[in-house]
Amino acid sequence: MASGGGSRLALVVWLLGLACHRAPAAPAQETLLGLSAPLVRTPEVVFAVEGSIAGRPAEVRFDLSSPLARVTTGCFETPLIGGGRANLQAPFTAAQLTPLTRVAGLTVGGLRLAPFEGALLEADSCVVWVGRDVLGDGALQLDLSNRTLRVRPSQPKAAWLAAVAARGLDAQVLELTLEPKRDWPLVAVRVRQGAAQLTEPFVVALHERHSLLLDAAAERAGLKRGAGLLDGLTLPAGLAVPAALSSIPGYPYEALELAPQVGVGPGALKGVAGDGHGAVGLLGADVLGQWDVSVDVKAGVLVLERPQVFSSGERHRCRRGGEEAREEACFELVRAPTTDAGLYAALTLWRPLERGVRVHLELPGASPRCRVGMSFSPGGRGRSAAHQFPWTGLAEQMPECAQALRTASDVRLSLYEEGPLPGCLGVCGFVEDLQTGKQSCECQPGPFGEAGDAEWRLFELRRQLLELQREAQEREPSDPP
């Protein structure tokens, strides 16, 4: 008995000693300064990272237009709700009185945050929208090719200008203003659609996947919805507008510019009703996710950066800083470890895509039977795609290739061909079985769920109809003298 008691006492002493020597937990932070974390793994760019609340997985988004954090009920077993309420006012939505809850244990990118209050929203999934209360004076930075989001301290505009000049990139430092009553960060945007154009302030809304435009503002500027872009043009006999193009419910644009010759396109803006309170749209990840982006609301600065590009005909060379301009530098491929079998790869193209392109990837160790790559429809610079190889569903569609991709140990750039892969519309990852001829694509959705290249095809159809119209007018006999 005495021996057993002594053993138990020794065990307790040993456990107490182990607890005393355990490394202390990282101190809780009031803001996310110092964060560096990969974006959530989706084919398109989303300004969100993975986190957790008391061990429960959470998607963490960044809403610079909100003074207050928000969190969904799906993040809690039982939310702690006090008597406080918040009056939320988001752009183009009615004010909403929302209960407040205590958010404790939020961890992001290895940083543990001190408890904070957030507006509670009903949803089964766990999502946290970081507002300016949690972000503090932090500036957000997106490294597009590496798909990484960072939070760094705010700095004066002069410091941003100096840093941009030192990097030697193709860069623009734009002015952000604040909406006087609600402190929404605004930037001037020009939208061009044929002869119609709109130049108005948009809210910088990184948390939104797709950009929005107020219906009333579009109507004032003469912008057309969907196939209304073809009004007044006659199709050749026997031809009709394809269903994928006639059903676009938003506002297609040829170019969306944030400064002269600095923009993206073609694309489309979702229409929205409501009151913009001085703004006419939201600028989301579909637009801003085509640059390396820095947003410093305190300094009133929006920085857009890309590698420099030098073009001669259809040949393009790119460079960062003082590096040599090379054709290969227009293609940036990064790979990341994955807990699942297979590989995760992200590819960013910094060159223009006049005719689109398909980029083949080499996966050492995988079967040569399966050809793998990414396909891009025509568009501008900064197009980016990320895929898990094999993706969900590939095992059912092409089981042999899915199994082969699970054994791959690396991924490298192989070669590229001008023109997108037939059958893969928009920005897609693709796998082709060279024995059976089967093909599988994982594509980024358009803003309305339509084919990802619908806007480009619509403007191309408009260009062709205008050309036919001009040719017909030129063939008409002139009036006699």
- 279 with 365, same domain: the answer is no
- 246 with 318, same domain: the answer is no
- 208 with 107, same domain: the answer is no
CA distance 215 to 231: 18
Residue 480 has pLDDT above 60, yes or no: no
- 289 with 327, same domain: the answer is no
pLDDT above 70 covers a percentage of the chain that reads 91
Residue 444 has pLDDT above 80, yes or no: yes
- 298 with 324, same domain: the answer is no
Instruction: Supply the mean pLDDT for the chain.
Output: 87
Mean pLDDT of 209-216: 93
- 406 with 323, same domain: the answer is yes
In a domain, 296, yes or no: yes
Looking at 306, 338, 356, which one is the last position of a domain? 306
CA distance 216 to 281: 11
Looking at 306, 328, 362, which one is the last position of a domain? 306
42 is written with which tokens? 């989706």
Structural domain harbouring 83:
36-136
* Dihedral angle computed from the Cα positions of residues 435, 438, 443 and 449, in that order, rounded to the nearest 10 degrees: 180
In a domain, 97, yes or no: yes
Q: How many residues does the chain have?
A: 481
| Least confident among 4-13, 44-53, 274-283, 408-417 | 4-13
In a domain, 452, yes or no: no
In a domain, 433, yes or no: yes
CA distances from 207 to 90, 129, 147 (A): 12, 8, 15
In a domain, 14, yes or no: no
In a domain, 2, yes or no: no
Contacts with 36 (C-beta within 8 Å, 6 or more apart), sequence order:
109, 148, 149, 150, 151
Contacts with 66 (C-beta within 8 Å, 6 or more apart), sequence order:
88, 90, 129, 131, 132
Looking at 248, 273, 306, which one is the last position of a domain? 306
Q: Is the dihedral of CA 73, 79, 81, 84 positive or negative?
A: negative
- The answer to whether 401 and 395 have CB atoms below 8 angstroms apart is no
Residue 468 has pLDDT above 90, yes or no: no
Q: What's the pLDDT tens digit per position in 202-211?
A: 999 999 999 9
Q: What's the pLDDT tens digit per position in 1-49?
A: 344 444 443 433 333 343 444 445 557 888 899 999 999 998 999 999 9
DSSP string for residues in 313-335: TTEEEEE-TTSPPBSGGGEEEEE
Q: What's the pLDDT tens digit per position in 310-323?
A: 998 888 999 988 88
